[in-house]
Structure 1
Amino acid sequence: MADEKDVVTDPNEEGILKTVDDLKMSRTEEPEYTVDFEKLRDKIVYDGMGNKIKFGDIYKMQKTIIVFVRHLLDFVTKDYVEDLGMIPLEYLQASDVRLVAIGPAPYKFINDFKKETGFNYTFYCDPERELYKELQLGQDLEPTDVSKSKHVKQNSLMGVLRGMWKIMRVQEWQGDVKQQGGAFIIGPGEVVHYTHIDRNQIDHAPINDLLKKAGVQQVSFPKDPRVQDL
């Protein structure tokens, strides 16, 4: 059974592939949630060079973990993406899974953010947040305790101070500070295997949960150590 925040639609568990029209996922105590590919597939994201990519092309040929993050000056986003970057490429390749992150900032910030976080996988931006809005990713700011996250290594005070320093340095926001993220496992084609909608700043899906749902070997992170098979 899926937990109260996550829903799984997978041919191995359901026995059949659901069509786009039938694909509806519910979360406890929340309204019915629907992924409407008709409205999503032609939405545009941008790579670090400003090239346009249709959202539907991201997951067309391969099962893909797609993580929507918060603004790029957010210390929680930085720490989370750093851990995403620790996933060994061979783990993904062994399961024929692709990893993609999407941020709500202008594309000109992508390359510096990838360098800062050591994230060497695909990163796109949705500066107008069209996908965020269509996927109903939240815009509520709630008090959070970063110590409960399996991926945030910084404390709140230092993280906020570093973020403020960056804002003063670049003198430009790198995404809407209220925008929350989410995570999806989609593909190949318009088949959803997993969805997680972030409720607040640290309600990101634990990365090992994403890997498990995608059929990828799990990873030991600084705050989420795992015993690996030798």
Structure 2
Amino acid sequence: MDNKKLMKVPTKVDSELGNFLVYNENAQGIKFKTLFEDKRTIIVFIRHFFCYVCQDFVRALAQDINFGDLKQKNINLYVVGCGEISGIKNFSLETKFPSQLIYVDTQRFTYNKLGMMRAETISQVRSGKKSEDTKTSTFCGLCKTACSIITKKRQGDIYQLGGTYIFETDGKIIYTFVDDSSNGHCSSKEILDLIQKYSQNIEN
């Protein structure tokens, strides 16, 4: 899981980022730091809500992870997207990932502050080897994405790429993986490995 194309990534959340508001499905804004102030936290940043690769990835996460086990291990897991608040419910229905664990940053402020990449071309977005979590064919996925964009409200910047980060309660960033394409993200198996590794020696 070697990610070499890192941009400038901070080692700790500053006050500007920590106090930035992200929003839940009920349009309630909370400070970004609230997501990790109580315990060690993994946050997966995805592309737009209509990205079929992101949907397949988060769907795999929802299938593979025992959320009750996360509580016992004293570690949080959240998904953050850059789409509209209205997209959270549908994304949750599509992926079976709990909607209360999904937040949005429509301004992409957290993405920029944490050093995530924004592709310059669609070919860059689609580059890279197909992820093991991607079950949808490219043709079907693109058709589904196109239909969603036409029929539903815009659900995020199509050029924005995501990443996976682990935060300590004091805002220190102890793990960073910056996606370099839609396929270039941590797999669900790798997320499970991170949970196992970083939840060890944490008191319940």
TM-score (norm 2): 0.86
Q: How many residues align?
A: 191
Q: Which amino acid aligns with 1:33?
A: V
1:166 aligns with 2:148: yes
Please report how far the alpha carbon of residue 134 of structure 1 lies from its aligned counterpart in structure 2 after TM superposition.
Answer: 1.0
1:99 aligns with 2:77: yes
For residues 169-197 of structure 1, give each alpha carbon's deviation from its aligned partner in whole angstroms, at most 9, with x where no partner exists: 21x32000000000011123323221100
| Cα distance in 2 between the residues matched to 1:35 and 1:192 | 5
Q: Which residue of 1 aligns with 2:201?
A: none
SS at the partner of 1:85?
helix
SS at the partner of 2:86?
helix
CA RMSD in angstroms comes to 2.0
5 Å matches for 1:1-230? Answer: 4-5=2-3, 28=4, 30=6, 33-38=9-14, 39-86=16-63, 87-120=65-98, 122-140=101-119, 141=121, 142=124, 143-145=126-128, 148-170=130-152, 172-215=153-196
| Cα distance in 2 between the residues matched to 1:100 and 1:29 | 24
Q: Percent sequence identity over matched residues?
A: 25
Q: Which amino acid aligns with 2:39?
A: Q
Larger radius of gyration: 1
**Is the CA contact (8 Å cut-off) linking 1:62 and 1:189 kept in structure 2?**
no
Please report how far the alpha carbon of residue 112 of structure 1 lies from its aligned counterpart in structure 2 after TM superposition.
Answer: 1.7
Where in structure 1 do 4 or more consecutive aligned residues deviate above 6 Å?
A: none
Q: Which residue of 2 aligns with 1:11?
A: none
Q: Which amino acid aligns with 2:58?
A: V
Gaps of 5+ in 2: 199-204
SS at the partner of 1:53?
strand
Please report how far the alpha carbon of residue 105 of structure 1 lies from its aligned counterpart in structure 2 after TM superposition.
Answer: 0.7
Task: Decide whether aligned partners of structure 1 residues 156 and 216 sit closer, same or farther in structure 2, where only a CA change above 3 A counts.
Answer: same
Indicate the structure with greater helix content.
2
TM-score (norm 1): 0.76
